[in-house]
Structure 1
């Protein structure tokens, strides 16, 4: 069944302890479908703790019998090839150390350390990957056991672009030098450009003296929307291409607090301003408040209610990603573009149960002005169910009946600091879970609880308490701890007599406590090491990051110990303190404890003080601006460095998140740990590891038209500050009226980094904003509009005009309208008209209020004009058997526009010449679907074979085919399933129709001289034969048609299926013309001149449809087949007429039809 049992097995027949050494065990059972892999069992008195990093290795030897370190022990370190990599002796602290000659990737390298000899008392063994349950990631730490030799920081001028725009990029490359960085030795770096998932090209960029490189990518105007990538060996950045429309209003939404208690009031404030720095007054708003439960974690403790969601399967229903709607409404901004809201947060039961965990309450506000375009922003507040949380940690998660279980209780505040004395209640239940099936088949789990014990208690000043319960019966138990709105539940599994309990502490972890959260170089960190072993323990304390930096050993008393670690600039931005304890538990068994703590050290000497100043802060469009860059170290001393400066329209930056981290974070953010643990006691046979579940403007007098719009106003990648730490750039901004954000990032030769931003605004006292669609449609009647802003303190009267050919206004004399615009206000003006039949419309919107003027074209430039018409083609063909003439009359309806049409007349000396002229190669499908490959492969193969047979000179076409056909063969070879067939997609179930078509193509390729593996053909034949149905099993016409195709393919491959074909020919009335034709070919090949073939061809002659363009055949529209179209059916029948060489009068007429219908 599905039950699990624990069985104690003796490791030898005598039942005595095994001698030290390495043993191999194998478990066999005749009832198992397979036997498990053999097990290796190490028996040892000497415990070897191994720490390996890409740069060095450390081994610590402890005698488990005496609990003392082992000095002068001979140690040999082997690689996976069995070669001795290092050898030596431990020092007086039981330590052996060695440095690797070159950095190693620990993901691909495992090391084994041995002391003594098997059979001797001093035998010990360990491996670098014996850290199960004790690796850094088990403590929530990020690790990287590779050996990166360098780091590349890549960024672009902005994260999002439109097709046709230019992407500017820069990279900074550094070699890794221990814990720091050094200028690269290489002179250049390869950069791979991936455009929309395809590797476009690799370019080799020269590196500057600062280790930097730059470049640009001109996107095609037809660039597909999506994500694109720039990549080096150790660096990557994505950017997005989208047909976006920039927002025109900036919404700044702020909560009055970051977190609050449920039942209290919060206030949100909104400031809406146009990007050209004018208030968005009287703008319509809609808002929604939603709540989404979140978690609160206390490391090592269970927090909150259990619920029943841990029963759910992955992907089970959950509320919206934005949470449950709490409230909503509509409003508008005031004259200053401001709005606020106050809400009282009630105890809302989001998940239909008591609220015991916090929830994120998000307020979403959408604004819309006269343009009709919306802009949205969102802000959130964390709402707590109580002013403290309860953490519960059981001494075991699985136990046996009548064994006492201890529970540690911890009360903490929102910052996870001890919350002092709390009066609490405890209830201990025996629990049974039942399920109910709902109306639509959903399953609800119901918890039935039986109270076993209860108790009131209080925490101490440190928020701590301990409880003990003794379950008397096997089963599932639950402890509820609650008080003052806080509640936590934990589950305990209790087995019967003889079952094995888990160790007394989950995963043998200890929590290290540091005296500070953040240190500066020169500080000393004091860390307390708790010791759970009653008789003391040996401790290995290491400082680690990219390698084992230093170590100390201690003999720790049962009360624990404090250690002091000096921190320097070399330890920035962080180092890890790791502690391994080896001791004996209360029952005298050898055990270990492992702890990690991440010590954060400010990289004060690595981060520059950078200041960017834009002057003037407000200017007009197209005017000159100056940016000054000041760079200094932490003491204010000026420094030389190389910086980039990107000046980008802030409205574009609002469309998406940044696509690269800050430069300080990239180089000096939290670094991962690279040291692996090898801990034999971590692999102890009696150890069970708990794996938790995954539950002011100027220049207005100039009436120039604004039409130079750019989303990046300026980019320079190699601005170098002088000895005074200064650099300046001067340039003219584009015509955008917006806020420009300047972003400066750079690095010194000593790898100090920094960045800063500044903003300047381009605006006008009077400005006009066009309101147009992205494109127009010929013949459409629509309204074009503009919103005119008066940013002065007085009322203005302005003439507002629309100019541009291609729009026929309803009232032409209203192309200029006079409007009054209130002070600090705006008005909307509309023009109704009809779009003319032109390629594009180039519009100019203008506003003239005397001294204040503005004129502008739409941001996207001329508006393209589309025509939603369906192309129609008509073709006819005929023969001139002798000299003379033939009249064809072409008549078009009056509603058609002949200017968009064409009349093509083609004369060919023969039908064969017309066919050869149409020969071409079908390019491969980029998605590599088997169906697409199939539809390309056979036509290309037939075309290639035709070129060989008629001996015509089309070298370019022949070369293309000689490249395409083998490529397709490789794809089809890879897509062939184990049963010999092919599916619609690679790895899809084999399909007989597709497989038959491909088999025929492989045969034709062989006939054309293309090399095809015989195995492919044999396997395909085997699949079709193995799945070939008996005729009497079929009843539907589509099944008969498919059988005809299968017979045809097998016959072409040399398989005798004549008896089946003869039987199928008797059902010709059930077959489509194409299937009759395939069957006729197969029958004729097996027995030339047979009656069945003649009968089938006679049927085809009678069912052909004659027109002025020749003869063709049609299928029943209800028949199921991918070949169910007139052209394909006619082509198959024509192929049969050519193969069988019957009905010579039909063949040229069929070819003429196909020639006339070619596209």
Structure 2
């Protein structure tokens, strides 16, 4: 628990069991975010997380490729029993959320042979967790919107009557082109959080509650939820919501050709309509090619975006299960806001629940009249009924397999579940490209005052392609 002490005993022994005494030890404690694995229903966020955060200061890359923060490190010598105790406080002031500590120690024996070992310890920020989930990840400016909250303990059991303080802010980005360390122009950002609502809510007997607010304008909104356990530990979590508007929205500009698409839900069912926000960086009307993809194209559509927070409506069909990929290619021509043709590309995976594709098969044996059990040579009739997910009768092809129960008692079934076989998650077989990536205008902007990237050779400004435009008439006399 946050604020307590973590004691780790390092026990060094030879293969035959003897203690490795008076051996040099080097140890390091690494911490990375702990994501509470909620076992109940629904999808909740149980930590304070910024989708646009990229803070690598004080972080190192571990041998497994996972980024982790160095919490502490030290050296020591094992005692006569081959033991050494590492003692460090649980939790850091600059990291208030729950963490997983990985304590790794390397012992070097008298033959100068190093051997390493590690252990993981979960440091909880409190005795309870507060989960946050919006009714929908997408909303509209001026429309009443809702965030839901839930309080649970470490075992995912609800904690009733928990008092939660909340604060809802608009995350307003200001993007400015400035020179980077290489002398090229690149986007930099300033973030201002503007409070739009605050208060407290007491969760009910089922540990749940809800807050409402009205977003005044388009943009990104975040709810901070704070509570305390009976030991006084502060627990913090948050949730996000993206709001569209007919007015121009100042989304955070990126130094590449990508946009981040946002879906209104995590999972869909056939018959639902998915709403996908396209946060365009362009002003004015923009052309967009929307494609639904998997191993091939499932749907294509060209739309004219009159706002840079356009919400695309996608009806979910049966054939989209178990998953699809929605890609958007934005094309912006030259106008009063754009001096050269540009493009942006975004893609989002969409998961479709396969529960409704599963049939309920009921098999009832009908024995010969007058018999309670069947014997060798008897004829048994099997009454088979098939129903869909809603309990309605459906026509189906049915395969019957009869196996001696004693055989199944000797070994496990060797047939995989049919649903997983036919509807396991599928990969993407489509590649998207644009000739605008080799546009001369785009390349000049790329080198001089556009996105980050390398230059090249040539005269004039390094890397700039000078296109001949002045074609003077030249007389030719050929007697």
For normalisation by structure 2, the TM-score amounts to: 0.48
Kindly name which structure, 1 or 2, has the bigger radius of gyration based on alpha carbons. 1
- Select the structure that is richer in helix: 1
- With a CA cutoff of 8 Å and minimum separation of 6, indicate the structure with the bigger relative contact order: 2
- Select the structure that is richer in strand: 2
